[in-house]
Amino acid sequence: MSSSPIAQHRKPALDELGDFTTTVRVIPICLLAICIGVLSTFVAWILLKLIGLITNIAYYHRIDTAFVSPAGNHLGLYAVLVPVVGSLIIGLMARYGSDRIRGHGIPEAIESILMDGSRVKPRLAILKPVSAAISIGTGGPFGAEGPIIMTGGAFGSMIGQFFHLTSIERRTLLVAGAAAGMSATFAAPLSSVLIGVELLLFEWKPRSAIPVALASSTALLVRRYILGLGPLFPVPSHPAFIGLTGLGGCLIAGLAAGALSALLTLGVYAAEDLFQKLPIHWMWWPAIGGLFVGLGGLIFPQALGVGYDTIRQLLQGDVPLAVFAGVLLVKSAIWMISLGSGTSGGVLAPLLMMGAALGGIESMFLPHYGVGFWPLVSMGAILGGTMRSPFTGIVFALELTHDFNMLQPLLLALSPTCLRCSSSSVPFLRKRSRAAAIT
């Protein structure tokens, strides 16, 4: 019996929407993705070593690649000049090298996908990690993950261009490199795939999801031998059941995280708009932002740099109130100003720190369910809310801590932030370029 005209009309559309087919073409793409996973892990390792080297040179005047915090320096007032000099170098690199090094990496990857057919220039693969290392190593309040995402994506794109692949295949390899870079940095392979799909890939099909998953898994495997395994932020075990009172507290924590993420977003936009009104070339903007970073470092030294050690302290408890206040006031302020100035650096680590600090404040009046419970809840909530990727925020928090008893609290806390994501008219990951009109 023949199908009706209506069914015949609908069939192609349904086939297109449910396109889970693939061809043998995916096999060489998967092999390339595995190679990109290995390459991206070494890129992450090199960048972390470079950050350590610049930090040691700038703040301690020694040649060492150990990953250290700038907070322990004894430079006194001279420490204010370190971020200024580093930001000035970045401004020069952006003007005379490539302005794509400005920003935290993910918007640049989105722009390459949307506007340039997933093509990334080779020099960006060098300039982006070097500029990020200078920014973070001289005290910039950023994480290394954004630049690693962009650098891994750049290498993936270049490999796709070398083999003359289609734009869809280049996009797949770009996202594979980005996911592998994040997986190598945080030892979080699943959330790395999810953030690639939610923010970069724009589809969930075998032709792209399988290569990205293989690249992320390969990066975790290689990380085992050069960086070690996770969790990156171990926490004490928390109870599997917290009752109605605890779940109500999770809703409160989610609402607070949504409010803070909205304030941070508006703060970054306001800083960008103020810098654009300055009557000087944008090359000088990062140096002005660096001055605020240096002054903030005098007030609260832990605000400088990546801050992984501070995040661990916030999650493991025994942190004085001054640290919570310093993170929420000083760290957030210099982060917004510096990011708005157009310097280079990632946003995930600062968001984790600010979320953990918010949770530390909440733990003073919410029910006690173990050390680091509320910092972990708020950390996942503010990440998902600000990045507009709630599911990624949940999985990311679980992979960073390996505390899978936190699944239900995180799921409930992320619910209010989803309301914020759907109601926000402007995405956090906006780009000062043509891509802003599309994203």
Is residue 262 domain-resident? yes
Structure tokens that stand for 270 in this block:
């306001």
Instruction: Provide the b/e sequence for 263-285 (b: ≥16 CB within 10 Å).
Output: ebbebbeebbeebeeeeeebbbb
Domain boundary among 191, 226, 261: 226
- Whether 219 and 356 map to the same domain: the answer is no
| Cα–Cα distance list, 133 to 143, 169, 223, 290, 428 (Å) | 10, 30, 20, 14, 23
For every residue of 134-164, DSSP letters joined together read HHHHTT-S-BSHHHHHHHHHHHHHHHHHHTT
Residues 308 and 192 occupy one common structural domain:
no
Q: Is residue 435 part of a domain?
A: no
Residues 166 and 264 in one domain: no
Do the domain assignments include residue 406?
yes
pLDDT at 109: 60
Same domain, yes or no: 134 and 189: yes
Alpha helices in 277-389 (DSSP H): 285-299, 308-316, 321-325, 332-340, 348-362, 373-387
Q: Which tens digits make up the pLDDT trace of 348-383?
A: 889 999 999 999 999 999 999 988 999 999 999 998
Domain boundary among 226, 257, 281: 226
Mark whether 61 and 34 lie in a shared domain: yes
Do 179 and 265 sit in the same domain of this protein?
A: no
Give the torsion through C-alpha atoms of 156, 162, 166, 169, to 10 deg: -20
Let me know if residue 86 belongs to a domain. Answer: yes
Say whether both 180 and 294 belong to one domain.
no
- Structural domain range at position 300: 243-428
How many domains are there within the chain? 2
Domain membership of residue 231 (yes or no) is: no
The CATH number of the domain holding residue 100 is: 1.10.3080.10
The pair of three-digit structure tokens given for residue 158, joined into one six-digit string: 């270049």
Residue 257 and residue 219 share a domain? no
Q: Residue 234: how many CA atoms within 13 Å on its side-chain side?
A: 4
pLDDT of the chain, 439 residues: tens digit per residue: 444 444 444 444 444 545 667 778 889 999 999 999 999 999 889 988 999 999 999 999 999 999 889 998 999 899 999 999 999 999 999 899 888 777 665 666 666 665 666 667 777 778 888 888 899 999 999 888 778 887 888 888 888 888 888 888 888 898 898 899 889 988 999 999 988 887 777 777 888 889 999 999 999 999 999 988 878 898 888 998 898 999 999 999 999 998 998 899 899 999 999 999 999 999 999 999 999 999 999 999 999 998 889 999 999 877 888 899 999 999 999 999 999 998 887 888 899 999 999 999 999 999 999 889 999 999 999 988 877 778 888 999 999 999 999 999 999 998 776 665 544 433 444 444 333 332 3
**What is the rounded CA–CA span in Å between residue 87 and residue 138?**
8
Q: Domain boundary residue among 195, 226, 257?
A: 226
What pTM did the predictor assign?
0.85
Quick one: 248 and 365 in the same domain?
yes
Residues 208, 261 within the same domain? no
Q: How many CB atoms lie within 10 A of CB 237?
A: 12
Contact 119, 170 (CB under 8 A): yes
pLDDT at 166: 85
Q: Are 139 and 343 in contact (CB under 8 A)?
A: no
173 and 66: one domain?
A: yes
Q: Is residue 6 part of a domain?
A: no
Task: Identify whether residues 255 and 217 lie together within a single domain.
Answer: no
Tell whether 233 is covered by a domain: no
Residue 215 lies in a domain: yes
